[in-house]
Structure 1
Amino acid sequence: MRDDPGEPVFVRSKWGANNYVFNWRNPVGRVLIVVTLLAAIVVLGSLYAS
Structure 2
Amino acid sequence: MFFVEEGRKDDAVAYFNRANELLDKSITSNIHHPNYVSRQKSTLAKLINTI
Q: Structures share a fold, TM > 0.5? A: no
Normalising by structure 2, report the TM-score: 0.43
Normalising by structure 1, report the TM-score: 0.44
Please identify which structure carries the higher strand content.
Answer: 1
Q: Which has the higher contact order (CA 8 A, sep 6+)?
A: 2
**Which of the pair has more CA radius of gyration?**
1
